[in-house]
Amino acid sequence: MGFFIETMLGGLMTGMLYALVALGFVLIFKASGVFNFAQGAMVLVAALAMARFSEWANAALGGDSLFLANVIGIIGAGVVMFIVAWGVERFVLRKLVNQEGATLLMVTLGIAYVLEGLGQTFFGSEIYSINVGMPKDPVIMFEGLIEGGVMINKEDFIAAALAAVLVGGLTIFFQKTAIGRALRAVADDHQAAQSVGIPLNKTWVIVWCVAGLVALVAGIIWGSKMGVQFSLVTVALRALPVVILGGLTSVPGAIVGGLIIGVGEKLSEVYIGPMVGGGIEIWFAYVMALIVLLFRPQGLFGEKIINRV
């Protein structure tokens, strides 16, 4: 029993982190209709920038204040993400208004290459660490209730809480603020939005900035967990079934999808895995998403796809 709960919890925590990356996909898709494959590269660049800026700041400050160094790192990384957003809008998206989905998808792959190259050129390609003071050792709880207790990871817990706060904030931002409404309008129809006076270019910069900040949070959490290095880009592949399961256009969908995928893949790996030789969690996540799609082709929370002739 205790083990089952642990696996569930582990799945939920992982799911929350997937959701964080998935959120980046959803935000950009909602606001510009672009399926942004560069999200993984953005996580990498954000985490690299954060790790290196705080490292340099720490060295410059003589190692006195880790907190200050981290704040400088986060600000520096934020600036980098802003530059990325501005550059993407100025040099790429602006020239590709009204193109098909496949073209835009391909362009984001180009952006991903450029970001990976630039990020590693400026910040290096070794392993760097982000130390934001996350507790690493586990605690055992509920020992009285369940035999052996339930092991809980404080780091995961804090990360999940952070993710939850971020998601809540973004939902409010999208639903309640004027900018959020403008973003949704742009997503629905570029031309209509423009004709009622919404500045397309500015909106895109904003949404890529927001996605960049989400990538930064994801990068800090993942980076602090596993160290900052190139493999962070592969996290995006783990987050894809999440987006699909939850629906490409839904912020809450990313969260629920993340939790379902997280729990599903951990339970499958732990309980079904040993029977077939293990290593099944990746495809299991995708198959889960696929099965959901067969019943709801737009994902759990996506807007209904209506076909008109």
Residues in 145-174 at the binding interface with another protein, rule: CB under 8 A: 151, 153, 155-156
- In whole angstroms, give the CA distance from residue 97 to residue 108: 14
- Contact call for residue 132 and another protein (CB under 8 A): no
* Binding piece for another protein, criterion CB under 8 A, among 94-102, 173-181, 182-190, 251-259: 94-102
The residue from 49, 215, 289, 300 that contacts another protein (CB under 8 A) is 289
Q: State the minimum distance, in angstroms, from the CB of residue 251 to another protein.
A: 17
Q: State the minimum distance, in angstroms, from the CB of residue 77 to another protein.
A: 18
The residue from 56, 99, 132, 185 that contacts another protein (CB under 8 A) is 99
Q: State the minimum distance, in angstroms, from the CB of residue 129 to another protein.
A: 4
The three-class DSSP label of residue 140 is strand
Show contacts with another protein in window 23-82 (CB under 8 A). Answer: 35
- Contact call for residue 116 and another protein (CB under 8 A): yes
The residue from 21, 24, 52, 128 that contacts another protein (CB under 8 A) is 128
Residue type, 117: G
What is the phi/psi pair of residue 227, to 5°? Answer: 85, 150
User: What value, to the nearest 5°, has the Cα angle with vertex 148 and ends 143 and 149?
Assistant: 40
The three-class DSSP label of residue 304 is coil
Q: State the minimum distance, in angstroms, from the CB of residue 301 to another protein.
A: 13
Count of alpha carbons within 13 Å of 89, Cβ hemisphere only? 21
Show contacts with another protein in window 165-224 (CB under 8 A). Answer: none
